[in-house]
Chains A and B, each alone.
Chain A
Amino acid sequence: MEILLNDNRLDIEGIGPEVTVLELLTTVEESLKGTQATVIEIILDEESYSADDVSEISTLKVMDYQKIELFTATAQDMVRAAFADGEAGLQHLEELAVEVASELRIGKVKEGMDSYLEFVDGIEWLVTMLKNADLAFASNMAESSLESDRQSLVQRLGEQMSQVQIAQEAQDWVGLADILEYEFPEILQDSKGFIKSILAA
């Protein structure tokens, strides 16, 4: 059996038949302390798992696999990767907003709610990305007005998300559709502009 960390072979002692992949991951995370890196992906005999997928990897036994690969990234790496994918992600969010709004307007609430949950996850991703932008782009932001743009975007997203929550709780589907169709596209466009500026700076 072979265990690799970022393509480098790892020697770990005491691996018995009962040791789970989660236990292996915990041991590796312990050894990474102080490096600012964290395991983000595990590949078990060419099948990929997320390190967040605790319930699944806690049932898998290390000895059942020939090759276990672990990949790490720092917060900085992750923010950079998110910004690199940002435009495509925002485009998808814009389309989702319109799709959910259309379903809600014609009374297809159940169908709309499936895509709505994806949209809410996407907005959370965007907010996290914006909030952590300084981790990867501190120097770019110090030299321009980008910091105030970032704060403004985070604030606008927060305001609209609380409106969304109020409409959803009141089951005011037309009100919710209005916010998604008429308020979010502008914020998402501005977010695209911000990402472009920050990557270009």
Chain B
Amino acid sequence: MNDTFNRNLSVLKRHPAAYQLVKGYAPRFAPEKYRVENARNGQPTLALHEDGARPLSYHSRYDPQAEAKKQVAASYESQSHVLLLGFGLGYMAEEILLQLKVMVGGPQLFVIEPDPAVFVAAMQARDLSRLLTDQRVALCIGMGPDEIGDFWNVNLDWSVLERLAIVDHPPAKARHNAYFERVVEKIRYLCNRSKGNLVTLMHSGFEFHSNYFANLAAGFTLPGVDRLFGKFRNTPAIVVAAGPSLDRNMHHLKSIKGKFPIVAVDTALRQLVANGIRPDIVCAADPSYENSLDFVGVENEADVILAIEPMTHPDIFESFKGPKMLMTFGGGLHPVFKDLREPVGTLICWGSIATTVFDLVRNMGADPLVFIGLDLSFEDGRLHARGSYSDDLLFERIHSFTSIEHESADYINTRGRYKLVRSDGKVLYTDENMKLYRDWFEDQFRQTPVKIINATEGGVVDKYVDIMPLTSVIAKYADRAAPVREILDEALQRPVNADCNALRERLMHYRKLIRRNESEARRAVSVCRKLLNACADIEPARLSGKASAEYYDVMKLHDDICIEKDLFAWFSIHQTKFMTRHTMELNNLKASPRATVGDWIKEISGFLAALESFHEYQIPLLEEAITSLDRADKSKQSLKGDLSR
């Protein structure tokens, strides 16, 4: 390897994954296949000479830099972030860096190069040190599409992603077309998911957080679904979703009750019970009051275990009288108490409770995973199986001039704008959310090592699954039954290891921290007022004496609050909209060389006002949770006393 390569390699250490790959790959590099020559203008150019094929030019043999300018100009329009598909010798990446006008203080140019040899050729041919040390560059060299998705999630600051440009290096795109299509599909899916998460958080974050506190005392001592993980190896499990096709085949579930675990979404419980079917487990996680109505009339189902996430509406916690198990999505208060009790069992939630049920049976070790009612499309002019509360909502709209069919049709006509053609040629319509869920499920199915069977007998999910009627599934796997009740009872009855006292003390510690922050924030508000009056128009670097000390004290308080792990997470959830905007404003101020004390202090004042509002909301939640834990502890003590008497 030449000097240029070694110089590049030393700066490549900034990108550990690429560094390790290149270091390992370089000794195997075949220069006769990846030929670097000088173009007419003296710049290096690359041609690929594969066995038995004619040479393929990666860059112009006349002027590779001018070519890169044209290529970038064709697909880049001042977006904040770029996904570059193919690195070649790096000309396009350099051109994009010149064109990126908005600086956000993190990776903005994600370079995807599937062939490590091309990257090694570039490292040998050109001095890439400037590009490799640029903070805006993130390298995905020789990674698979799923690895790129993970890398993207970890390295991208979603709060500053405004618009994304997908720019091809055409020869690389032509050579690895299927790979790049998969990468783009993965990134699109992650962007949609992240957009969905942010929107959900903005709308419901406040509700999630309040529910966590309200359910804390009741949920903390429940057995976790972790106890079920791995307990159903090689047993088929049925996932019951609430799509309209459920009406078609749910009656077959009676024959397998007690043999295969049947796990349902909350929306399907009422119609299952109405048809004489008790699922073994029903999962609930929706924080809304409306969803709690799915349990009206089925509160006393003692044979059904309710697997519940602490963000669920407290009415469900209170009203459901059957056995309960706790599950977690890993957020909310889980990090606060997870070391104080036995494992809960962390599951995925991707917008729909059906995604959680799927992850639960996957963690239970079941194989195959069998879906019914997973339409994710409108069927026979209906949105859900008959009898779900969501169906009731449409009934409520009916008056003398309309009908349930009319209301359903109205919903479908307004929302069902996606037309999907199934592999058997049937055309179905779906809405944006269900289409996203379908993409999610198919992406997960692809990555799940056990067999997935879609026995919905309708709907639009047909990739990476075996399609089979439910009766055939039951017949085929009849010999793989498990003692379902016995396994579930064992998981429910073992005593739960959870330290309530330690939890109460921890909550009291948070209360103390909030009180302290409250008083410091009040002082800071008055300092901000003073600074705005005295030195709003000057730049922070030009402050001196007391004003400088006060200014930097306020900034330090801001930074200290932002690094308090748990409290800042709660604050961000309560003030999601403000914090999203605040992060962008801070980035703009950092990027602006002429930002004044006034600009900074106005933004910090907004932050302090949001903090005050958070404190007003948070203190009562903490007080109530502490009181509930006290109450639970006292009743436990009194029960112990009664028993001893």
Contact = CB atoms under 8 A, between A and B. Distances in A.
A181 B57 contact: no
Contacts of A109: 174
Contacts of B67: 105, 174
A179 B204 CA distance: 60
Nearest to B40: A182
A173 B56 CA distance: 8
Q: Which of A174, A175, A178, A181 has the most CB of B within 10 A?
A: A174
B171 interface: yes
Interface residues of B, number: 21
Contact of A106 (B54, B56, B58, B71): B71
Interface string B315-357: 0000000000000000000000000000000000000000000
B280 interface: no
Contact of A173 (B62, B168, B174): B174
Given A102-B70, A106-B74, A178-B60, A173 B55 contact: no
A172 B57 contact: yes
Given A106-B170, A177-B60, A178-B62, A166 B75 contact: no
A175 B61 CA distance: 8
B68 to A, nearest CB: 9
A166 B54 CA distance: 8
Contacts of A104: 170
Given A105-B70, A107-B170, A178 B54 contact: no
Given A107-B173, A173-B171, A178 B74 contact: no
Given A105-B170, A107-B173, A178 B57 contact: yes
Interface in A80-139: 102, 104-107, 109
A171 B174 CA distance: 9
A170 B71 CA distance: 21
Contacts of B62: 178, 181-182
Contacts, number: 51
B53 interface: yes
A109 B170 CA distance: 10
B59 interface: yes
A174 B70 contact: no
A7 interface: no
A181 B70 CA distance: 13
A55 B242 CA distance: 63
A13 interface: no
Contacts of B58: 174
Interface in B29-78: 40, 53-62, 67, 70-71, 74-75
Nearest to A107: B170
B428 to A, nearest CB: 31
A178 B61 CA distance: 7
A169 interface: yes
A104 B71 CA distance: 10
Nearest to A174: B57
B170 A170 contact: no
Nearest to A177: B60
B469 to A, nearest CB: 43
Contacts of B71: 105-106
Nearest to B75: A106
Q: Which of B53, B58, B60, B168 has the most CB of A within 10 A?
A: B60
Nearest to B173: A107
B173 A175 contact: no
Contacts of A181: 62
Contacts of A169: 54
A172 B55 contact: yes
B91 to A, nearest CB: 12
Contacts of B60: 105, 174, 177-178
A68 B463 CA distance: 64
Contacts of B56: 170-172, 175
Contacts of A178: 57, 60-62
Contacts of A171: 56, 174
Contacts of B40: 182
A106 B170 CA distance: 6
A100 to B, nearest CB: 13
A107 B55 contact: no
Interface string A159-196: 00000001001111111011001100000000000000
A107 B58 CA distance: 12
Contacts of B59: 174
A170 B174 CA distance: 12
Contacts of A105: 60, 67, 70-71, 170
Q: Which of A169, A172, A173, A181 has the most CB of B within 10 A?
A: A172
Nearest to B39: A178
B70 A170 contact: no
Nearest to B72: A106
B166 to A, nearest CB: 12
A105 B60 CA distance: 9
A107 B174 CA distance: 8
Contact of B57 (A102, A107, A175, A182): A175
Contacts of B61: 175, 178
A183 B171 CA distance: 21
A9 B173 CA distance: 63
Contacts of A174: 57-60, 67, 170-171
Nearest to B73: A106
A120 B397 CA distance: 67
Given A105-B70, A106-B70, A106-B71, A170 B53 contact: yes
Nearest to B59: A174
A165 to B, nearest CB: 11
A170 B54 contact: yes
A106 B74 CA distance: 7
A174 B75 CA distance: 17
B374 to A, nearest CB: 38
Interface in B129-183: 168, 170-171, 173-174
Nearest to B60: A178
A28 B168 CA distance: 58
Given A105-B71, A106-B75, A172 B170 contact: no
A107 B70 CA distance: 11
A107 B171 CA distance: 8
B55 A170 contact: yes
A181 B57 CA distance: 15
A105 B63 CA distance: 12
B551 to A, nearest CB: 50
Contacts of B168: 107
A83 to B, nearest CB: 31
Contacts of B171: 173-174
A139 B168 CA distance: 55
6 tightest Cβ-Cβ pairs between the two chains A and B: A107-B170, A170-B54, A174-B57, A106-B74, A175-B57, A182-B62
12 contacts: A106-B74, A107-B168, A107-B174, A109-B174, A170-B55, A171-B56, A172-B55, A173-B170, A174-B171, A181-B62, A182-B40, A182-B62
Interface of A: 102, 104-107, 109, 166, 169-175, 177-178, 181-182
Interface of B: 40, 53-62, 67, 70-71, 74-75, 168, 170-171, 173-174
Given A177-B60, A178-B57, 19 more contacts: A102-B70, A104-B170, A105-B70, A105-B170, A106-B70, A106-B71, A106-B75, A106-B170, A107-B174, A173-B171, A173-B174, A174-B58, A174-B67, A174-B170, A175-B56, A175-B61, A181-B62, A182-B40, A182-B62
